[in-house]
Amino acid sequence: MNLTLLDIILLLIINGGSIYFAGYLKEKSKNKAIAEDISNITRLIGEANAKFTEQSDKLKMELDVLGNTHISIIHEQRKAIIDFLASYLSWYNLILFTPADIVMKPTQIAIDEYRLKLDHHLNELLVKEMVFDIFVDSKKLISIKNSLKKNTIDNYKIFVDEFIVKITNLTIQHEIVMPSYDTQTQLIKLSELSQKILESFLLLNKLKSDNEKQLHDHRDLFYDNCKEYLYGMYGKKTGKKTAEIKEQHSL
């Protein structure tokens, strides 16, 4: 086969072009593969970022809920302690400071109203105590509270038995028989009634004073432990130590 110079040149051009085109196609497919890999990697990174953001937001929300729940519980514990203390003091002060009209000039209506008020305050105290026992998780504080309540109720029973019942009986007798007396006798009987009531009141005050020191010390112990408990709750919330909180509140 005789090839002319032109044929040889054409063959070289065709072969060279084929080689170049084959190389071009190979490089292009390689670049396309790299582009697809980059695209896949970018997509995976995007998905990972989105999932991480979603999980982070969810975790943050859960932590916020836990934090708010903890703060809410601390608030309820503080409120339960303060409400119980306020209710206890209202009830005990009603026992400690007997209304003057009950002592000086008692009537059955006034005595009944006073007893109803005492019962109402005691019932309110028992309701506050239920809330106290639900939210306060200190066995020591609950034990001191129970002991204080028992001692106060014992004192309350003395008050009712030694004073309220006595003046109630005296007043009933007085109101029944009084109309049968003349004016002069009524005045004498009224004076006798006042004297008996005063004697009962003085006896009551002696009984109160005998128990008051013990109750006073017991109340102070309860108050101090309530403060320690609240300082501890506040410390958990803020990360501060009890000594720091005490110093801060003493300024």
Contact yes or no for 73/135 (Cβ under 8 A) = yes
In a domain, 18, yes or no: no
Contact yes or no for 98/205 (Cβ under 8 A) = no
Give tens-digit pLDDT for 35-87.
Answer: 554 565 556 556 655 665 666 566 566 555 555 555 677 788 888 888 998 99
pTM for this predicted structure: 0.58
The residue that leads in pLDDT, 52 or 140, is 140
In a domain, 104, yes or no: yes
In a domain, 44, yes or no: no
Say what the pLDDT of residue 249 is: 47
Report the 3 state secondary structure along 110-138: HHHHHHHHHHHHHHHHHHHHHHHHHHCCC
pLDDT band at 124 (very low <50, low <70, confident <90, very high): very high
Instruction: Write out the residue range of the structural domain in which residue 165 sits.
Output: 75-250
In a domain, 220, yes or no: yes
In a domain, 65, yes or no: no
Instruction: Report DSSP letters for 189-241, one per residue.
Output: HHHHHHHHHHHHHHHHHHHHHHHHHHHHHHHHHHHHHHHHHHHHHHHHHH---
In a domain, 241, yes or no: yes
Domain count, the chain: 1
In a domain, 115, yes or no: yes
In a domain, 46, yes or no: no
pLDDT band at 205 (very low <50, low <70, confident <90, very high): low
Neighbours of 129 (CB within 10 A): 19
Give tens-digit pLDDT for 143-201.
Answer: 988 988 888 887 777 767 667 777 776 676 666 666 666 777 767 766 777 677 777 66
Give tens-digit pLDDT for 17-31.
Answer: 555 555 555 555 555
